[in-house]
Structure 1
Amino acid sequence: MTEDPQCPCCTSVTETALHATVLCPSSHDLWLRSGCQAALPLVSSNSFGEVILNWAEHLTPELYQRSLFLSWFIWFRCNRWIFENAWDPDEAILHRHSKLVVDFDEYTRKIYGSSASPTAPSSRKIWEPPPPGIIKVNVDARVSNDGWIGLGTVARDCTSSVLFSAVCRHKARWDPLTAESKAAWYGLHKAVEYGFNNIILEVGSLVLVNKLKKKSFTLAAVDNVLEDIVFASASLSSIVWSHVKQDGNFVAHHLARLVPYNHEQVWENSVPNEVSSYVLLDFLSMN
């Protein structure tokens, strides 16, 4: 919200979350063209929270998800207009909305669509928030054929709020395990830099997690990196090494694929636009 109480998009009424996302004339066509028009007659309260509960009760699960996605994109557009003076056209919003719907369907099928084995694996398939007072840091690495290595990390708290996200690139010839280890060190380093003392460090490599838990290192190059990680974690009040499958590590996975403006790029309390939809997917998958 800005200091001016009027809606910055239509400048006709006082801005509220409900008005900005659903009732504003600037968003009306989006609700019609996206196929979410059935949600509009269910807006019978001035509270956006009560409207969401009403949608959950009366809309099909698919339409409920589509309506939440559209609300989020409209809210994001409004904030871009306020803080960046950039207006995303309806066609761009509709394209992102339809793409996110498809991505979420694929995401949920991967997680819930296959039949579980009698003995379920200990590694989780979805991202879960940490307990109160603990910060979860997810990391991932991308090894490119051209010799560039991308490292991505994101930290979130028990409310799923993003505390920081970061990406950096290195020109190197690391094997995948070494690259994952470098990503783990990078995420831990950023968390310590921000003053966090109770951390869950979550990675997509089970081999890496087992090595860190056992603290059994050799003279291999990757073990030198792991020793650095253990040394850096010694100053923390607590640290837990955690493994999650790629479907639960989407945010860090896609961060590692971004090209920063310089060697490194950091976002405080946010993520770049390119991965913001995956933060939303994580949040929705646990509700």
Structure 2
Amino acid sequence: MGIRDWIEGRWREMDGHGRELMMVGCWAVWEVRNKVIFEGNGVVGREIISRVCSVMEEIEGGRELELTVGGRKGHGEVVKGSGGWQVPEPGLVKLNVDVGVKEGVGVGVGGVCRDETRKVLWGMSVFRKENWDPRIAEVVAILDGLEEAAAAGHDAVVVESDCLEVIEALQ
């Protein structure tokens, strides 16, 4: 049996929530793959699995998850997520942004805004044919997100980004 047959078989067995988690897991793998290709970061399997756990924890409401690598539970290496996405304080909304930069192609800018109940309030996704440094793209993502937040009537926004240099500069 090939991987495609295996995936299609599991897909048919899953309910809607299981399918959602599978797609989120695939997205997390794709995200790590892009960091390897576009940023030249070397990644080991354990890091990919940890990222998948973290993203799934976020979807599952912060419940800590773990996966076993190299064997069944109790016989392999256990990899845990980071503890999941943290909700903003009541009265605040949280804006998470991320970018993808491919030299000579352009910049993908995305964001999602959620409240303290984890409810998604809105999202954004923009492609620009620009050749920006990833840090500049991250700043643009934050600015775009803050403009969207203001247009939606949010005046108390917590910003999250995976670009520590930009976050430190903003602080």
Give TM-score, length-normalised by structure 1.
0.36
Is the counterpart of residue 162 in structure 1 residue 107 in structure 2? Answer: no
Q: How does 1:1-287 map to 2 (within 5 A)?
A: 34=13, 70-72=15-17, 96=19, 99-100=22-23, 103=26, 106=49, 107-108=52-53, 113-114=78-79, 126-213=84-171
CA contact (8 A) 2:54 2:84 kept: no
User: Using the alignment, how far apart are the partners of 1:153 and 1:101 within structure 2?
Assistant: 16
The structure that has the greater radius of gyration is: 1
CA contact (8 A) 2:105 2:131 kept: yes
Counterpart of 1:196 in 2: which secondary structure?
Answer: coil
CA contact (8 A) 2:103 2:131 kept: no
Report the alpha carbon displacement of residue 102 of structure 1 after superposing the two structures with TM: 5.9
Residues 176, 132 of structure 1: alpha-carbon distance in 2 compared, 3 angstrom cutoff: same
Change (3 A) 1:134 1:150: same
Identity across the alignment (%): 29
Matched letter for residue 72 of structure 1: H
Can you list the C-alpha shifts for 1:94-114, whole angstroms capped at 9, x where unaligned? xx4684496589312898555
Listed as ranges, the gaps of 5+ residues in structure 2 are 1-8, 29-47, 56-64, 67-77
Q: In the superposition, relative to structure 1, how do residues 199 and 149 fare at CA in structure 2: closer, same or farther (>3 Å)?
A: same
Distance 1:97 1:202 in 2: 23
- Alignment TM-score, normalising by the size of structure 2: 0.58
Q: Which has the higher helix share?
A: 1
Query: Secondary structure of the equivalent of 2:139?
Result: helix
* Secondary structure of the corresponding residue to residue 159 of structure 2: strand
Q: Which consecutive unaligned segments of at least 5 residues does structure 1 have? A: 1-29, 35-65, 74-95, 116-123, 214-287
Distance 1:125 1:146 in 2: 36
Query: How many Å separate the matches in 1 of 2:24 and 2:113?
Result: 25
Higher RCO, Cα 8 Å, sep 6+:
1
| 2:94–2:159 contact (8 Å) kept in structure 1 | yes
1:209 aligns to what SS in structure 2?
A: helix
Q: Which runs of 4+ in 1 moved over 3 A?
A: 96-106, 109-115
> Which structure: greater strand fraction?
2
Deviations 1:177-229 (A, max 9, x none): 1111111111111101111011101111111111111xxxxxxxxxxxxxxxx
Aligned length: 120
Task: String of CA shifts for 1:129-149, please: whole Å, max 9, x gaps.
Answer: 112111000111110233311
Query: Which string of whole-angstrom CA distances, capped at 9 and with x for unpartnered residues, describes residues 111-137 of structure 1?
Result: 85558xxxxxxxx66312112111000
Amino acid at match of 1:204: D
